[in-house]
Structure 1
Amino acid sequence: MFNLRCIVLLLLMLQLNTMTSQDFREFKWKKRILLLIDTKNDLNTRNLQLSKFNARYNEMKERDLVLFVYNGKEVLDRDGMLTNINPDNLTYGEFQGIILIGKDGGVKFRKKYLVEANEVFDLIDQMPMRRAEMKNR
């Protein structure tokens, strides 16, 4: 009887964990993701890069663009708060820079720090899906 309780409890815990953690696939077809990779914990560069995009928040919102930071262990939101996004599938080695993930889930852009916001916005604005969005708005 004890073993059955342990198994049931373990299964409930696993189910709860999968219900509370999310991954980037949940954004597919809804949002574009700008992922800042900072596995070396270079706060000066990270903060400078963040400021380039945070200063243009309305333009990011208009493009359905959400920003996250991956510090090698956890995924943080644009304000530095811990998210419930599971980082287990994020493996970028020594890369320090940004990655743009399109609404289709594909990597559209990858570049080392520092990147100007206009470079990303111009790229997004040339995408067929974005052109359709602009036409329909």
Structure 2
Amino acid sequence: MARPARQSMAAPIGRFVRGSGHHLTRSIAAALKIKLHVSGIAYRGPEAILKATGDPMTALRPLVLACILAVPLGAHATDATVTDEMFVTSDQVDLNQFKWKKRPLVVFADTADDPAFAEQMELLRALPEELERRDVVVITDTDPDARSDLRLKLRPRGFMLVIVGKDGGVKLRKPFPWHVREISRSIDKQPERKREIREMKERARGR
């Protein structure tokens, strides 16, 4: 007895898509138009492709590709904004403006060419999300001749990494570069950070 032929799902799906035609294409295009505009990608509707080919599936291909590309581009733009706001120089800020708001992480060196300074900045920029999660702002000072208020207060010698708490007190000094994981562990041991973690857990349970 002959087995019944297995029907491919491609034909019914194809008929459905083509039957939906313009409505399907335009609905997806409308949704993507907003997404692509926000992501900074130039948008051109599928009408020209649809008119030339008569095939909605062909018209959808560039839109699907653009959608895939739009997500990482938007994410990178957000990351860049966060990083720019997180890293500042000592002449731009005053420690008092961060009290009870941010945890200043101060990186001193006698010159920006100091290998220890370059290594520390590379480590910090590699994991900005960990710093952001702990409300860290990175302040750099590589000009001892400027005698900034921050330098006069903390009195570094050559390269120095200083962790300042939200209360304005110095929590830790290191004369060598430190990995973000070590910095994070040090911050998480601080009483004010422990309180923040406890409060976040309580809010999560209350949802």
TM-score scaled by structure 1?
0.68
Q: How many residues align?
A: 107
Alignment CA distance shift 1:93-1:118 (3 Å): closer
1:118 paired residue number: 181
Q: After superposition, where does 1:1-137 map in structure 2 within 5 Å?
A: 22-73=93-144, 87-91=148-152, 92-137=155-200
Find the structure with the greater CA-based Rg. 2
SS in 1 for 2:138: strand
How far did residue 22 of structure 1 move? 4.3
Which segment drifts farther, 104-113 or 114-123? 114-123
Cα distance in 1, alignment partners of residues 132 and 145 from structure 2: 23
Runs of at least 4 residues of structure 1 off by over 4 A? Answer: none
Alignment CA distance shift 1:22-1:118 (3 Å): closer
Cα distance in 1, alignment partners of residues 106 and 168 from structure 2: 12
Percent of counterpart pairs with the same letter?
Answer: 29
**RCO higher in 1 or 2 (8 Å CA, sep ≥ 6)?**
1
Q: Which runs of 5+ in 2 are unaligned?
A: 1-91, 201-207
Task: Give the root-mean-square deviation of aligned CA atoms.
Answer: 2.3
